[in-house]
Chains A and B, each alone.
Chain A
Amino acid sequence: MISLSAVQKSYSSDVAIGPVDLKIPTGGITAMVGPNGAGKSTLLTMIGRLLGLDAGAIEIAGYDVASTASKDLAKIVSILRQENHFVTRLTVRQLVGFGRFPHSKGRLTRDDEEIISRSIDFLNLNELENRYLDQLSGGQRQRAYVAMVLAQETDHVLLDEPLNNLDMKHSAQMMQLLHKAARELGRTIVIVLHDINFAGHYADHICAVKDGKVIEFGTPAEIMTDEVLSRVFDTPVTVIDGPRGPLAVYY
């Protein structure tokens, strides 16, 4: 479980996040949605200790994020940002291998290699494992980074807009894989999503963020309504019954 209590972060007098109180339950996918600049990514990076808090506290599985040593947190929570610094002459497999760093400090054991193989296979990258990152398409590279955080074998996985730059096919594949990771590998996945329909279909919980505050938290059935979505996104939204569940129409 991830719990935030009175979390605050201020940038200037009129741009501020919080205070946010939130409990993200263990298991499944929790999607964070909201308009641009609402603070979804900021909240996620604060949970993942990439950004410090100005006030309040965040606990992951009972460990306080601010006071627990970074190397211990790395075994509990992993976070992937949208943009990643891009190292040349690094193969997919070597990148995924970095996911084992918190456990093996760079000296990969036989068990580590097996976990790396499993993560690579899980994301269907086994054909590409010896390719260099600069020889991959954007979508393949994105999958390689996700494989790295999965290889970290943390109970909690935080992903900041992993569907960015992915086309229809790869977005759907990525969400299916994350869904599978949550079900079969028992991970708690928190994900920032732009497309409300992806959230409605794949997430177990949706957390709606607006103006730096969490204004709604519930199951997709509770959030996917005309009234709630129109309020969250500040634009008229109609939810219709699609062939595979509710579908938000906003154009």
Chain B
Amino acid sequence: MPESNTIKSAPRTTPALASRHHLGRVSGPLPTGRVRRRYWIVLSILIILALGFAGGLLAYDNPMPPGTPGFWLIAQMRSVNVLVMLLVAFCQAMATVSFQTATNNRIITPSIMGFESLYIAVQTGAVFFLGAAGVTAIQGVPQFALQLVLMVGLSMALYGWLLSGKNGNLQIMLLVGIVLGGGLGAVSSFMQRLLTPSEFDVLTARLFGSISNADVSYLPVAIPLAAVAGTLLWLNAKRLNVIALGKDASTNLGLNHRFETMRVLFLVSILMAVSTALVGPMTFLGFLVATLAYQLADTHDHLYVFPVAILVGFVVLSGAYFVMKNVFYAQGVVSIIIEAVGGTVFLIFILRKGRL
């Protein structure tokens, strides 16, 4: 090998070319003043809306005169629902935004990866084998914890198996996840066919994503879990920004891409399991929230997308709940209005801007 013709190169560091750098040239997450202003205005509006809906849920249609002990008692009882909504919004928003980044795909949501099918299969199985009493048999903190473990276990087995192999491939993992979800769904439908009408009726109430499915006694388990997983994702925001560039670019920048993806997917599965086991399927919510958050925040930086996504999630959930409760008197079943109104808002955004 021609070692001799090694080229004498200039000394390493970049020569101070007539650099046109000045302090105004910065690469922050919000590049220009206009984008910055817009971001903070959007965030303030979302905070006001969130506070408004939360206040509305606590105080509107409260039979006791404001300020009396009775008023506060009722508000306190209602505040559990608000807390559940906050928790679900937090879980779904953080999980979906992170999941879309880890899979480099902006049109999917972690719910299709078998979480919801598993939830439906567990609920249906309980009613199928134990009759209407089955619904009560799977309520309780140990059962809740068991469902969490099942869901996280299933998804980790899937991610681990499909991502660690020699031909580990995200696309195949997603496909297998969807197929497994479909299979579980089919088994559930089959069992539902064989139920008596009254059992089926009891079951249906559990299968609609509903805030009132949530049991207060689950919260001491659910809140710490969600808080820990969410905080870890939040602290990981800078790395998530790099992972969004794709496998090759993030490896080039020094990340162990497979390890980072697995870590994100693990945290995502905890958040999704908490949300699903708590209130049931919310298939569309995460996707809607993540997409709207990107449209509203107008930045790639997760540190800035996360808060917008959580607030959007809470506004959508509490808004839907408020309307369902005070306009249609059908409190609980929020997933219907989320899919109808949220879907419309989503379509308007996409058609107007023409991009995700």
Q: Could you tell me which A residues sit within 8 Å of B by CB distance?
A: 1, 22-23, 25-28, 45, 48-50, 70-75, 78-81, 84-85, 87-91, 93-94, 96-99, 101-102, 105-108, 113-118, 121-122, 126, 129-130, 134, 149, 152-153, 155, 182-186, 188, 204-205, 217-219
Contact = CB atoms under 8 A, between A and B. Distances in A.
Interface in B255-280: 255-256
Given A87-B245, A107-B238, 8 more contacts: A50-B251, A79-B248, A94-B31, A98-B242, A106-B241, A118-B21, A149-B252, A186-B10
A218 B4 CA distance: 11
B254 interface: yes
Given A183-B10, A184-B10, A78 B252 contact: yes
B254 to A, nearest CB: 3
Interface centre among B21, B29, B247, B255 (most CB of A within 10 A): B21
Contacts of B21: 113-114, 117-118, 121
A72 to B, nearest CB: 8
Contact of A48 (B1, B19, B252, B299): B252
B9 A74 contact: no
A182 B10 CA distance: 9
Contacts of A153: 14
Interface in B298-345: 298-300
Given A153-B14, A186-B10, A22 B299 contact: no
B356 A88 contact: yes
Contacts of A45: 248
Nearest to B22: A117
B193 interface: no
11 contacts: A1-B6, A74-B254, A81-B249, A88-B356, A89-B294, A96-B27, A98-B249, A101-B242, A113-B21, A113-B26, A185-B15
A241 to B, nearest CB: 22
Given A27-B6, A102-B254, A130-B31, A85 B14 contact: no
Contact of A118 (B8, B19, B32): B19
A134 to B, nearest CB: 7
Nearest to A101: B253
What 8 A-B pairs come out closest when comparing CB atoms? Answer: A85-B246, A74-B254, A106-B238, A27-B9, A117-B21, A71-B254, A27-B7, A97-B27
B311 to A, nearest CB: 18
Given A117-B19, A122-B17, A81 B9 contact: no
How many residues of B sit at the interface, in one of the four size bands? Answer: 35 or more
A108 B298 CA distance: 20
A153 to B, nearest CB: 7
A108 B27 contact: yes
A94 B26 CA distance: 9
B64 to A, nearest CB: 48
A126 to B, nearest CB: 6
A91 B31 contact: yes
A115 B9 contact: no
A134 B355 contact: yes
B220 interface: no
B14 A70 contact: no
B33 to A, nearest CB: 11
Contacts of A204: 7
Contacts of B25: 93, 113, 116-117, 129
A152 B253 CA distance: 8
B5 A98 contact: no
A219 B248 contact: no
B352 interface: no
Nearest to B355: A88
Nearest to A81: B248
A116 B15 contact: no
B253 A98 contact: yes
B243 to A, nearest CB: 10
B168 to A, nearest CB: 12
Contacts of A185: 10, 14-15
Given A27-B9, A81-B248, A93 B355 contact: no
A22 B7 contact: no
A137 to B, nearest CB: 17
A89 B247 CA distance: 19
B300 A89 contact: yes
B20 A22 contact: no
A157 to B, nearest CB: 11
Given A89-B299, A101-B254, A126-B20, A115 B14 contact: yes
Contacts of A79: 248, 252
A116 B239 CA distance: 19
Given A25-B6, A108-B27, A84 B249 contact: yes
Given A113-B27, A219-B5, A102 B248 contact: no
Nearest to A204: B7
Nearest to A48: B252
Contacts of A74: 252-254
B11 to A, nearest CB: 6
Contacts of A155: 12
